[in-house]
């Protein structure tokens, strides 16, 4: 089974998000922001620096992705947010396929795949924007104001959903791959 190939900018943006979001998630496991709980180790401080700068890269890629999704040759908004009647019908049909342990059609025409990608893009967008706000507001030393703590708490809460999305994305991509779909090859071919 062969999925419809993705446009080159979509593939590059996906690769950029794959790299930056993966770095963000794994570095978050060892980093510690300044003034959070006293003295930081070199690993915690360095991890936070990597998290900040790769987060800014993720923010840039997210903004480029939204620009491409809105203005590309073929708008991706109908794919990412298939909330109209036809989109909901495709999502239902795709979900029934999954219940039969058959992967639904992926690619730019997939209903459930597009819907899940749209939710993931929203979560990553929120993370990138809230992280950008934290980058601007978080002081280099001293205790941050309460509003910064609240934004940080929300940022951390949404990170849970990004982790779930990240693992689910990998599992389903491998599921498609081992069921004979060319989704991985189509997305990451040069």
- 61-88: per-residue pLDDT in tens? 999 999 988 887 666 777 788 878 888 8
Band of the pLDDT at 98, cuts 50, 70, 90? confident
Span 116-122, average pLDDT: 89
H or E, element range at 182: none
Question: Is the model's pLDDT at 116 over the cut of 70?
Answer: yes
State yes or no: pLDDT of 22 exceeds 70.
yes
Whose tokens are 């446009």? That residue is 7
Angle between helices 111-137 and 42-71 (to 10 degrees): 130
Nearest CA among 63, 50, 59, 60 for reference residue 23: 50
* Token pair 């992967």: residue: 103
Give the model's confidence band at 1: pLDDT under 50 very low, under 70 low, under 90 confident, else very high: very low
Greater pLDDT, 22 or 82: 22
Question: For residue 8, what is the enclosing H or E element?
Answer: helix 8-27
pLDDT surpassing 80 at residue 41? yes
CA separation, residue 55 to residues 64, 88, 107, 169, 187 (Å): 14, 33, 27, 20, 23
CA distances from residue 110 to 2, 54, 80, 175, 185 in whole angstroms, order as listed:
12, 30, 9, 15, 16
| Half-sphere exposure in the Cβ direction for 46 (13 Å, CA) | 3
Task: Tell me the pLDDT band of 59, cut-offs 50, 70 and 90.
Answer: very high
Choice between 58 and 115, residue whose per-residue pLDDT is larger: 58
Statement: residue 123 has pLDDT above 80: yes
Say whether pLDDT at 182 is over 90: no
3-state secondary structure of 61: helix
151 near 130, Cβ under 8 Å? yes
Mean pLDDT of the chain: 83
Q: What is the pLDDT of residues 162-178, one digit of tens each?
A: 999 999 988 888 887 88
Residue 25's pLDDT band (boundaries 50, 70, 90)?
very high
């Amino acid at each position: 089974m062969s999925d419809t190939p993705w446009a080159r900018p979509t593939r590059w943006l996906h690769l950029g998000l794959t790299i930056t979001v993966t770095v963000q998630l794994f570095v978050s496991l060892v980093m510690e922001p300044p003034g959070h709980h006293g003295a930081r180790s070199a690993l915690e401080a360095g991890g936070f620096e990597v998290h900040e700068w790769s987060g800014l890269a993720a923010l840039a890629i997210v903004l480029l992705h939204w620009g491409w999704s809105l203005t590309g040759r073929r708008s991706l908004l109908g794919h990412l947010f298939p909330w109209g009647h036809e989109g909901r019908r495709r999502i239902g049909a795709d979900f029934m396929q999954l219940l039969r342990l058959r992967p639904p059609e992926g690619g730019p025409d997939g209903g459930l795949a597009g819907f899940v990608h749209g939710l993931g893009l929203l979560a990553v967008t929120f993370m990138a924007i809230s992280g950008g706000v934290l980058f601007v507001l978080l002081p280099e030393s001293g205790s941050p104001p309460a509003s910064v703590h609240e934004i940080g708490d929300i940022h951390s809460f949404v990170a849970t959903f990004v982790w779930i999305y990240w693992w689910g994305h990998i599992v389903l991509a491998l599921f498609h791959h081992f069921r004979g779909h060319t989704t991985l090859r189509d997305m990451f071919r040069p």
